[in-house]
Amino acid sequence: MLKRKGKNTKAEIRNHALLLFAEKGFKSVTMNDICVSTGLSRGGLYRYYGSTSEIFAEILTKIVQGIGDNLAEALRSGKSPTQSLDMLLNNWSKSISDVETSVVFATIEFCHLKGSEALEKAYSRAMEIWTSFINYGIAQGEFNRIDPRAAAATIMFAYEGARAASALMTISENTGKGLANCIRTMLVKPQQAQQMAYAV
């Protein structure tokens, strides 16, 4: 049930829908399911969203926006690129094994049924965010001089691949930390890495 109606209603609808999509996949979730989960009437739900496709596409957008917001907040708070990366990788390694919020397979279903435009937009935006951040780390002298776009793609596919695998088999948090350390080694200069070691 929604905690309260108001300006956060759309976000709460998405949160309820995300759990349903993670549990049931995309095509098995109906607007009625979301009404039941949120406690909204059909008319109330349709005031905010016209279909499960619209909700799911916005979930993809907000997931990517969250990455950008987290990085921006870390940098605004005075954290260095390496500290900001560590914060993100720490969250990343924990979320890999969180199957309750993984929409990897729902995303595959969504793309098969509705096309990949929403996913491609989310991917492009995520690539922009990561590439810009990696370029910033290089400019600050903390990150290795590597191809930022190739590094961004490596990070994204490593994460999504691990998330997909976690729905099929047990992926421990230590495995997530190991992957995070590999990414950190790829990005952070050795002397910087020694000063601010990411603990496994």
pLDDT attached to residue 173: 77
Q: List, in sequence order, every residue forming a beta bridge with 143; answer none if it has no partner.
A: 188
Distances (CA, A) of 54 to 60, 101, 146, 187, 199: 10, 18, 37, 36, 40
Encode 167-190: b = buried (16+ Cβ within 10 Å), e = exposed: eeeebeeebbbebbbebbebbbbe
Is residue 124 in some structural domain?
A: yes
- Using H for helix, E for strand and C for coil, what is the string for 102-131? CCHHHHHHHHHHHCCHHHHHHHHHHHHHHH
DSSP structural state of residue 143: B
Query: pLDDT tens per residue, the chain (200 residues)?
Result: 676 566 689 999 999 999 999 999 999 999 999 999 999 999 999 999 999 999 999 999 998 888 888 888 888 888 899 999 998 898 888 888 777 788 888 999 999 999 999 889 989 998 999 999 999 999 999 999 999 999 999 999 998 888 888 878 888 878 888 999 999 999 999 976 555 554 44
Domain assignment of residue 13, yes or no? no
- pLDDT number for residue 199: 45
In a domain? residue 200: no
Residue 126 inside a domain? The answer is yes
- Side-chain-side CA neighbours of 22 within 13 Å: the count stands at 19
- The reported pLDDT for the residue numbered 168 is 81
Instruction: Determine, yes or no, domain membership for 79.
Output: yes
C-alpha Rg value of the chain to the nearest Å:
18
Number of domains in the chain: 1
Q: Is residue 21 part of a domain?
A: no
Residue 3 inside a domain? The answer is: no
How far is Cα 123 from Cα 25, in angstroms, rounded to an integer?
A: 20
Residue 9 burial (CB count, 10 A)? 18
The CATH number of residue 77's host domain is: 1.10.357.10
For residue 81, what are the domain limits? Answer: 60-195
> How far is it, in rounded angstroms, from Cα 37 to Cα 17?
8
CA distance 9 to 87: 29
| HEC sequence for 45-77 | HHCCCCCHHHHHHHHHHHHHHHHHHHHHHHHHC
Nearest to 133 by CA among 63, 68, 65: 68
